[in-house]
Structure 1
Amino acid sequence: MKIYEKAPAKINLSLDVLYKRDDGYHEVEMVMTMVDLADRIEMQELPRDTIIISSQAGYIPLDEKNLAFQAAKLIKDRYEVKQGVYIHLDKKIPVAAGLAGGSSDAAATLRGLNKLWRLNISNEELKKLGEELGSDVPFCVTGGTAVARGRGEKLEAIDSPPQCWVILAKPAINVSTSEIYGKLVARDIQNHPNTALLLQAIREKNFELLCENLGNVLEEVTIKLYPEVRQLKDVMQRLGADGVLMSGSGPTVFGLVSKESKVARIFNGLRGFCKDVYAVRLLT
């Protein structure tokens, strides 16, 4: 028996850090949604009690460092599953990009193994398992659009944003999320996103208001270390994207575009600037 799961990329429409907590994590408030750029995960039971991972991508670990491997081991150990599993990751989402590719792979692995091994684990339980793997994994378990609080695990599902095109562009650099958060000084943040107005824009399906209220407090930190991100934002704005923001800790920059007639021009203009460029739709 084989199980197939789709693992879509996420973008942050807003990312705010409120303060640094006593446990070392940052208290966040984020609005996240998913786009139609996805890895595909194939899972097949093995007769012997082992976890094997393969991928066509030559740049990802295929052992305990891989989040999908960690997800498989967690669910096996927690539910005392004695069967093995072969997992193939067909990677489309760029790595270390601020798009939660690894987290989405882990979430898809939890969902897929729940079906493959007929464990009947509820979505709430899967999200709890996901918390042990990473801050973005609980959101990726169910997807959709949500406000995430705490360190990302407290989720409130909300309506989808107004439908539009999303242009994603990743410069040829990799960014470590822990490095960016490590250099962030929460008390020094001057410009916090207006999350309330962003949520109003989503409720009212007001695309213009949505674009006006995109915000990410990590941008300033990432741009200081990687000025390519600022250049990429500037290029995307000049080419006519309606709203432009860095996703997560970066370095991927996305542009929201309402008119299909603009998409090809922006896409082709960015291809001259970096190799990893995608034109996709929001997953609503």
Structure 2
Amino acid sequence: MIVERARAKLNLALHVRARRPDGYHELETLFAFVEHGDEIRVARADAPSFTIDGRFCKALRAEDDNLITRAAAAFAADIGGGPWAIGLGKWLPVASGIGGGSADAAATLRALAELEGVAPDDPRLFAIAERLGSDVPACLLGRTALGRGRGEVLELVAGAPGMPALLVNPGVAVSTAEVFRRWDGVDRGPLGAGPLLDVARAGRNDLAAPAIAIAPVIGEVLAALEGSGAALVRMSGSGATCFALYDDDAAAEAADRRVRKAGPGWWRALTRLTG
């Protein structure tokens, strides 16, 4: 059995530049990843199967079609192999802006590649990832990167591995399509240049305002994280998960206690950035 971590994705900054004729949006974003995530398990089998467990498994149990099964089907069609038994340990909230489904699909591709003796940088994997969704290529790469286009045009940048991070989700699922639909269409400019955190702090998330309009509790989460001594506070993706980065463990742990009091029912994950 191959076990692969599907690490949560953070958008340290997310600039929406334009609506595209194909229905997507032109983006500039800083992708980063944390240690916390879902878990993908794959093994050869006599017949294909998909099982799911974990804290957030109930949100997906009724789905016969998902990004994991699509990733496996695409791998079999384009590269070969199978059938496989695939298991998902679902520990990330669903529809939460941290790439849960995309990370799961990417981890499935990595795990199947290892099982079938395919190089992890095989271009066929990235071609499949791009077809599956805008965030899947970044999650397949799994490293700090600048994303352009829909987010699939990637350029590696120096990360901040080991930096403490606190992820907070208020328990609401926000529709990515609806958040993008409510974007005001104003191009507020590109990402800057320089060290990762400097660029992130000077940046923004252009989807925060429409997401907060849909789910005002996101603003409450951001308010709880602001003033906690964080180096950066931001909503990730289209929401509703927000995050804060800290210079040391003590500050992150203090912030975790503060947020627990502000929102006792909110999901929280105290973790670290990866490279």
Q: TM-score, normalised by structure 2?
A: 0.91
2:240 aligned residue (251, 261, 271): 251
Structure 1 residue aligned with 2:22: 23
Q: Is the 8 A contact 1:54 1:89 kept in 2?
A: yes
> 2:125 matched to 1:126?
yes
Report how far residue 64 of structure 1 moved.
Answer: 4.0
Report how far residue 211 of structure 1 moved.
Answer: 5.9
> 2:58 matched to 1:67?
no
The CA distance in 1 between the partners of 2:140 and 2:38, in whole Å, is: 14
Report how far residue 11 of structure 1 moved.
Answer: 0.3
- What secondary structure, in the 3-state scheme, does the structure 1 residue paired with 2:179 have? helix
Q: 1:121 to 1:172 in 2, by over 3 A?
A: closer
Report how far residue 63 of structure 1 moved.
Answer: 4.4
Q: 1:66 to 1:55 in 2, by over 3 A?
A: farther
Q: TM-score, normalised by structure 1?
A: 0.89
The CA distance in 1 between the partners of 2:253 and 2:123, in whole Å, is: 40
> 2:220 matched to 1:234?
no
Report how far residue 40 of structure 1 moved.
Answer: 1.3
1:266 aligned residue (252, 255, 259): 255
Unaligned runs of 5+ in 1: none
2:266 aligned residue (238, 257, 275): 275
- What secondary structure, in the 3-state scheme, does the structure 2 residue paired with 1:58 have? helix
Root-mean-square deviation (CA, aligned residues, Å) is 1.9
Structure 2 residue aligned with 1:168: 167
Query: Which has the larger displacement, 220-229 or 115-124?
Result: 115-124
Q: Is the 8 A contact 2:160 2:274 kept in 1?
A: no
Correspondence 1:74-89 to 2 at 5 A? 74-81=74-81, 83-89=82-88
Correspondence 1:130-141 to 2 at 5 A? 130-141=129-140
Q: Is the 8 A contact 1:36 1:282 kept in 2?
A: yes
The CA distance in 2 between the partners of 1:121 and 1:158, in whole Å, is: 19
Q: 1:259 to 1:111 in 2, by over 3 A?
A: closer
Report how far residue 54 of structure 1 moved.
Answer: 2.7
The CA distance in 1 between the partners of 2:29 and 2:87, in whole Å, is: 31
Structure 2 residue aligned with 1:54: 52
The CA distance in 1 between the partners of 2:225 and 2:180, in whole Å, is: 25
- What secondary structure, in the 3-state scheme, does the structure 2 residue paired with 1:54 have? strand
Structure 1 residue aligned with 2:202: 213
Aligned AA (1:246): M
Report how far residue 259 of structure 1 moved.
Answer: 2.7
Q: Is the 8 A contact 1:68 1:106 kept in 2?
A: yes
- Structure of higher RCO (CA pairs closer than 8 Å, 6+ residues apart): 2
- What secondary structure, in the 3-state scheme, does the structure 2 residue paired with 1:238 have? coil
Unaligned runs of 5+ in 2: none
The CA distance in 2 between the partners of 1:276 and 1:80, in whole Å, is: 39
Report how many aligned residue pairs link the two structures: 271
